[in-house]
Amino acid sequence: MKMRYLILEDGTVFKGNAFGSEEGTIGEVIFTTGMTGYQESISDPSNCGQILTFTYPMVGNYGINADDFESIDLALSGVVIRELAEQPSNFRSNGTLSEFLEAKKVPGIEGIDTRKLTRIIREYGSLKGKLTNAGEEVDVEKIVAELKNTEIPRNEVEQVSTTRPYPSPGRGKRVVLVDFGMKHGILRELNKRDCDIIVVPYNTPAKEILGMFPDGVMLSNGPGDPTDIPEAVEMVKEIIGQVPTFGVCLGHQLISLASGATSFKLKFGHRGGNHPVKDLTTGRTELTSQNHGYAIDADSLANTDLEITHIALNDGTIEGVKHKKFPVFSVQFHPEGSSGPEDSVHLFDQFIELMNAESKKESSHA
């Protein structure tokens, strides 16, 4: 293997081995705490533009398979791991992680102290970083200056959203699924419930969505800051009260902003498949899969028509809300798991129940 450096904007330098693409990259360095599910993590569009660090020490040990992708193309900028498994052992494996990242032109570095890197991010927050070209000798001061002058792109949703509508047919409830960087796990759960789905771009106007006569609207996960897509906030404002709506991750943040709440950037985000969340409506604690860098300000919900339904037990941040007047609810975590626990998959059934209840109301008024 050729050597490669990971250099952070604070001047910290990690030297390791290059794998995947030989070309370097710049991105926001983050970490995920999942012990498994690396294939789902690297293919999650919510990681657009980010250099993803795995805290679990060995990655790649079960290879890459045809089943566990959350998107067709990779949107992340790079991968950081402690130890790369070059000889995976799994009956589903079709190749190695390194081969896959090379084919997708995503660089990786292995053999560095990921515990030290994670502690730096936890102390100082997410940092910009650069993975150098494989085998390249570097001028650290020059790269640090480059990083300080680099602006992280703010059009991540535009990069990962579909550009035109497409169907995923079923014979059940018609759902318009707004793609802000949708994980395929969300689509799979709706398909399991035989929904007749139309996936639309992130900037589709409310009038066009309602013109598809949906029984419900699903707002997907996605990357970045929710305030970077004000057109989506306006669309959600017009949707609320018109049709049952379910938001996940970025979709949750958009429902909150559309209702008058505000968001803020977390110091180092929530990423991994082991985050405990308390459901305030049942008192039950569920383990959840999460991947987000922003959250909703709890105080800002006070003057809205939203009430808090879920909180994170690790730091007390808002993990779910529901509307007091309309059939609208959302969660910050990923109820479909993918990868991670499926404790909260019942929320898709709750969405179906909301649509059924609304249909009954309309029938009784007819």
**How many Å apart are CA 302 and CA 277, to the nearest integer?**
21
**How many Å apart are CA 16 and CA 313, to the nearest integer?**
35
- Take residue 37 and report the two structure tokens written for it: 């599910």
Q: Does residue 252 have an active-site annotation?
A: no
- Take residue 121 and report the two structure tokens written for it: 């991010």
CB 183 within 8 A of CB 336: yes
Q: One of 9, 249, 286, 292 is an active-site residue; which one?
A: 249
- Take residue 112 and report the two structure tokens written for it: 């560095």
Return the closest-CA partner of residue 296 out of 281, 283, 308, 282.
308
Q: Does residue 195 have an active-site annotation?
A: no
Per-residue b/e over 188-217, b at no fewer than 16 CB within 10 Å?
Answer: ebbbeeebbbbbbbbebebeebeeeebbbb
CB 351 within 8 A of CB 197: no
Q: Does residue 336 have an active-site annotation?
A: yes
Q: One of 252, 270, 323, 334 is an active-site residue; which one?
A: 334
Q: At what angle do helices 230-239 and 250-258 cross, to 10 degrees?
A: 70
Q: One of 70, 189, 319, 336 is an active-site residue; which one?
A: 336
Strand ranges, E, within the chain = 3-8, 13-20, 25-32, 50-54, 58-59, 78-81, 83-84, 107-110, 127-131, 166-168, 174-179, 196-201, 216-219, 245-248, 263-279, 285-296, 306-312, 318-323, 328-331
**How many Å apart are CA 144 and CA 330, to the nearest integer?**
40
CA angle 165, 328, 196 (to 5 degrees): 35
Q: Annotated active-site positions, please?
A: 249, 334, 336
